[in-house]
A and B are shown apart, each in its own frame.
Chain A
Amino acid sequence: DAGVTQSPTHLIKTRGQHVTLRCSPISGHKSVSWYQQVLGQGPQFIFQYYEKEERGRGNFPDRFSARQFPNYSSELNVNALLLGDSALYLCASSLDMNTEAFFGQGTRLTVV
């Protein structure tokens, strides 16, 4: 079985642009969460989706949005990019909302 897959792996964007990151969970997993990890810190929770509904939101501005599709894949959108949005964006899937999370390799976003 494939693990959690994320695309793209690397991305360079200019300030003010918009970005869409994609995530495919492990087959059978219904929960997808998004995290932002800057160098030297732990992953910071952005969103959790379960059964296509948002079940949790972290302390991120409204420029960040996400959705989960009927096949349980997910997209994270960030508008009006700032330099400070440069980070590793991690997607994690889990069977349920309270169980172990399996992380993808992440998308390395650089905003210049």
Chain B
Amino acid sequence: GQQVMQIPQYQHVQEGEDFTTYCNSSTTLSNIQWYKQRPGGHPVFLIQLVKSGEVKKQKRLTFQFGEAKKNSSLHITATQTTDVGTYFCAGIRSNDYKLSFGAGTTVTVRA
């Protein structure tokens, strides 16, 4: 079955620094979505990428979808304490609608 892998599992960042989390799928995806889950909370939708090579920005967050539509990345610049949480990528295959989540990257920030 489809597997979505995320690395790193944990990211400890100094406030103000940048970091990137990566997502890889074993199969081609029709789209990929990113979610953020704060401790004790539920996943909150951040963005959806559909086109090959697509890049989208939300303030300090930059999302990319790979040319082969099998990988994606989330880059955060100038990390703030509000960025704390777990970031999940979730992919949908072309031939079904099951949203498969990665294990997430848990981000902690040192002030």
Contacts and interface: CB of A to CB of B under 8 A. Distances in A.
Interface of A: 33, 35, 40-45, 48, 50, 55-56, 58-59, 90, 92, 97-106
Contact of A55 (B48, B97, B103): B97
A42 B104 contact: yes
Contact of B98 (A42, A56, A100, A106): A56
Interface in B77-91: 88, 90
Interface string B69-111: 0000000000000000000101010001111111110000000
Q: Which secondary structure dominates where chain B touches chain A?
A: strand
B68 interface: no
10 contacts: A35-B101, A41-B104, A42-B6, A42-B88, A43-B43, A43-B90, A45-B99, A100-B45, A103-B43, A106-B42
Contacts of B104: 41-42
Contacts of A104: 42
Given A90-B42, A103-B43, A42 B101 contact: yes
Contacts of A42: 6, 88, 90, 101-104
Nearest to B86: A42
A99 B99 CA distance: 10
B97 A56 contact: yes
B98 A45 contact: yes
